[in-house]
A and B are shown apart, each in its own frame.
Chain A
Amino acid sequence: MTRRKPIATGSDWNFDILESYEQELARLADEYRLDTYPNQIEIITTEQMMDAYASVGMPVGYHHWSFGKQFLAVEQAYRRGQMGLAYELVINSDPCIAYLMEENTLMMQVLVMAHACYGHNSFFKGNYLFRTWTDASSIVDYLVFARKYVAECEERHGVTAVEQLLDACHALQNYGVDRYKRPSPISAEEEVRRQAEREEYLQAQVNTLWRTIPGPRSSDALLGSLDSEEDPLGLHEGGRYPPEPQENLLYFIEKNAPLLAPWQREIVRIVRKLAQYFYPQRQTQVMNEGWASFWHYTLMNRLYDEGLVDEGLMLEFLQSHTAVVSQPGFDSPFYSGINPYALGFAMFSDIKRMCESPTDEDREWFPDTAGGDWLEVVQFAMRNFKDESFIQQFLSPKVMRDLKLFSIVDDDQEEMLEVAAIHDERGYRRIREALAAQYALSLREPNIQVYEADIRGNRSLTLHHVQDRRRPLGRSVYPVIRHLHQLWGFPVRLESIAQDGSVTRRYQWPLPDEEVKE
């Protein structure tokens, strides 16, 4: 390979230099068949970066105090030097928006371009979750619509009313996503057009649901019926509503809460839509960061091999890269959980290693992968997995040994913690399973669903919390069901159900002394 002259040396940069590097990166990325959205690279100042951070990665957002809190926290941490700002900030949109901070050195700018504009960008475009759940092309339009709509509501109904509604929605936003079925994609322009229509229509729907005239009596009534003596007309027959438990609490609220005004339903919908947009990101942290780190590492090395960057820049890069993908041990003062960059990078690098120089162990564990075309395999992995399944599928004994993973069982019925598995022959599979479970969103968050809305009785709402291995809900449960009560407008109950189906704990809001039923 002929070594060319470095495009630039030193740490200063200008737009011409960035563009040259960007072109080189694009050329190399193309060689590796990285399929990306067009890039929109924005150069911003520190303050702007803090703004961007505070709006949780949305380029435009509606106003809410919690973003102000976020901003103050970021600012404070940055001023104190606790946090290096902005390794990268990239937005899943088409074109893909990435931010470069003006204070960064040339090395950082090139690194961030490789990491965000080719790593994350291709992940956004390729991964099945993002392909299924997000509309990269319309998200910015939708955000603009949301911001305008919320601002209009604030003018019409007052800032406080909107703020309280948003507080309540934010408390439930993790439960505002469809996990299994894909909502029909609606473009943002249509969104605005349909909004007014929806407003009227929705309200009519809700009214129909809550109408007091009994419907035709169904012959095979399910549950919840009273004795025929007490209910001779059979008004309480006709089964539970909803007939199936609903996992999407905000969706259920939007469509069924009896008292919400149309604009309130629309805001619930906005929060729900945004939660859905961020849902894939929450499920692919390790993969996303690992993929991006793997590519910045590969691309930077290629730039160096071709002589386009000099040794100084490369050393600076290696130092930065090493810091990012380091994994302190559990007993280190710097330990704060497993570093997704470290785990993801180690796994993707290991896939490449297995393909290029497989060992006997690899052939035994990954007969399909070992010795294959590494580019094919990593692309396949990127496209078709989320954290949980990716770990399940690709975490190799070598990575477990390198990270010295071990698993501990913490059982409140036992006096001591027990080391369940370590990185040895007997432990590999168990560790892999436990680690995958650790990234399963369904296990990370309590499983809570709408069980019943008593539409024929006192309109109370009952939720079921299905306990996972006897784990109870945290103390935040009361404030959250208070918020839920604000949205629903009638008493809200929450029951924790153990594995055997028995109710272990009941929560309700308003607190029992005000509300007497049963």
Chain B
Amino acid sequence: MTYFIDRRPNAKNKSAVNRQRFLDRYRTHIKRSVEEAVNRRSITDMERGEKVSIPTRDISEPVFQHGTGGRRTIVSPGNKEFIEGDRLRRPGGGGGGGGAGEGSASNQGEGMDEFAFSLSREEFLDFVFDGLELPHLERKALKDLDEVKPVRAGVTRDGVPSRINIVRSMREAYARRIAMRAPIRRALREAQEALDEEESKDPVLRNPSRIAELKAEIERLEKRLEAVPYIDTYDLRYNNLINQPQPSSKAVMFCVMDVSGSMTQAHKDIAKRFFLLLYLFLERNYEKVELVFVRHHTAAKEVDEEEFFYSRETGGTIVSSALSLVDEIITRRYSPSQWNLYVAQASDGDNWDDDSVNCRELLMKKLMPRLQYFTYVEITPHAHQALWEEYETVADEYSDRFAMRQIVEAGDIYPVFRELFKRRAAH
């Protein structure tokens, strides 16, 4: 007796749980590999999986085994030249060279010092952004109508057939039937009683026309009773759903990049990679994050994504131009009562001297009171200049919401990024 079963339509990820368990168990190892990969890769290359290796000894499942030593006999195939009694030098390295059977343990060992496997793109990015979040995200205004959730709200008299509440409808019908039948039944009962009374009289005294009349009446009433519908359209009740507005966590991130002449190609590259990482992080983790790209030299300009990352333009540096543009955009488009506002700025810290003071003023007076979080990364191997110093005073004032870090080389990007956006304890 044989059955054929086509299992192909079945779910294929039977091992998904076990795979996840494995990844969880070796989290620290994998994280290390991912970190290395992020630093090694060009950032545009982020959207693919990664090969991860873990030292075999760390993940071995130990069992009792024979060690090397003692006396053992090994039978192998393929003898060409040996005759009994030949004596051979031990092959170097582990004594597994001529071995079969027992020797297979060491044979497997060769070249398997690393247990290698691949992370999918999703898993890879999960590890990259593991434990990061936008700080101080708050629930702003309720008025955003996009975010509604249907909730149950009692029953109504009209609706679509799929929402019929059967129990309630039947109950309505039952009540209506009782109500509509009651007077008919009463009349029927009275007629019946009258008829019985009439019929119980002495045959001489009976009024035949009265009897006929009563019988006709009873018949009519019974018909009416039957005509009461079992269920009627106005018995129907429908489950009612209404849309309830949900508080939304809308956020907007301003990416501010310095493209002035003092930013070398290397600086710009680092800045771009920082922003790309930020962009990926936001895209991936938050559905409702808007991005505004602002680039500046002596004048600031709002640009689209493409232009922000890839266009070439250069000039002097006035950082405050960018900050005031951000301020303007916030006032015009993103009311702080509805939006969580974030700014990430990257620069080499080279600014017109007297402008740095303006920047501080702008930040302290206009921007910081409205922002959730401001991050500043300075990309320079050199000593800090006026801008950094001015920003330090801002950081002192708003230690919770203002963070600044220095990036010297590409390898710093990911650690700095993690530091700036690492998940905080509940605030």
Contacts and interface: CB of A to CB of B under 8 A. Distances in A.
Interface of A: 15, 18-19, 22, 26, 38-45, 47-48, 50-52, 54-55, 63-73, 75-76, 79, 95, 102, 117, 159, 163, 167, 170-175, 327-332, 335-338, 403-413, 416-424, 426-427, 431, 434-435, 437-439, 444-446, 448, 467-477, 479-480, 483
Contact of B12 (A48, A408, A471, A475): A48
A22 B80 contact: no
A26 B73 CA distance: 43
B240 interface: no
Count chain B CB atoms within 10 A of each CB in A15, A51, A172 and give the residue with the most: A51
Contacts of A412: 68-71
A170 B59 CA distance: 13
A65 B25 contact: yes
B126 to A, nearest CB: 16
Given A48-B7, A422-B79, A431-B75, A72 B85 contact: no
B383 interface: no
Given A329-B78, A420-B84, A476-B63, A63 B21 contact: yes
Contacts of A422: 79, 82-84
Interface string B16-28: 0111111111000
B6, B69, B88, B99 interface centre (most CB from chain A within 10 Å): B69
Given A68-B20, A438-B100, A420 B73 contact: yes
Interface in B105-147: 107, 115-118
**Residue from A337, A435, A448, A473 with most neighbouring chain B CB atoms (10 Å):** A337
A54 B18 contact: yes
Contacts of B14: 48, 51-52, 55
Interface centre among A48, A73, A327, A416 (most CB of B within 10 A): A48
B21 A71 contact: no
A117 B88 contact: no
A329 B77 contact: yes
Given A15-B4, A19-B4, A67 B82 contact: no
Given A335-B78, A337-B100, A469-B70, 13 more contacts: A41-B3, A42-B4, A43-B7, A66-B22, A172-B63, A329-B77, A330-B76, A336-B104, A337-B101, A407-B73, A409-B73, A439-B101, A472-B67
B5 A47 contact: no
Interface string B38-73: 000000000000000000000111111111111111
Contacts of B68: 412, 472, 474
A87 B347 CA distance: 60
A73 B69 CA distance: 31
A50 B15 contact: yes
B66 A472 contact: yes
A404 B86 CA distance: 16
Nearest to B78: A329
Given A41-B2, A329-B80, A404-B77, A416 B20 contact: no
Contacts, number: 280
Contacts of B84: 419-422, 424, 426-427
A115 B2 CA distance: 15
A419 B2 contact: no
Contact of A469 (B6, B20, B72, B86): B72
B64 A405 contact: no
16 contacts: A26-B2, A43-B6, A64-B18, A68-B23, A72-B117, A72-B118, A76-B118, A170-B61, A327-B77, A329-B77, A410-B90, A416-B87, A416-B89, A435-B75, A469-B72, A475-B67
Contacts of B69: 412, 470-472
Q: Is the interface of A mostly helix, strand, loop or mixed?
A: mixed
A426 B90 CA distance: 25
A117 B102 CA distance: 31
A483 B61 CA distance: 11
B15 to A, nearest CB: 4
Q: Which 7 A-B pairs have the closest CB atoms?
A: A329-B78, A68-B22, A471-B70, A68-B18, A72-B117, A470-B70, A474-B65
Contacts of B7: 42-44, 48
Given A51-B14, A408-B88, A420-B84, A434 B67 contact: no
Contact of B5 (A41, A336, A439): A41
A45 B12 contact: yes
Contacts of B78: 327-332, 335, 403-404
A437 B73 CA distance: 9
Contacts of A45: 8, 12
Contacts of B67: 471-475
A86 to B, nearest CB: 13
A63 B74 CA distance: 38
Contact of B117 (A76, A102, A159, A408): A76
Contact of B88 (A15, A64, A170, A416): A416
Interface in B241-280: none
Contact of A409 (B71, B101, B107, B117): B71
A484 to B, nearest CB: 10
B159 interface: no
Contacts of B116: 76
Contacts of A446: 64-66
B95 interface: yes
B62 A480 contact: yes
A338 B63 contact: no
Contacts of A467: 70
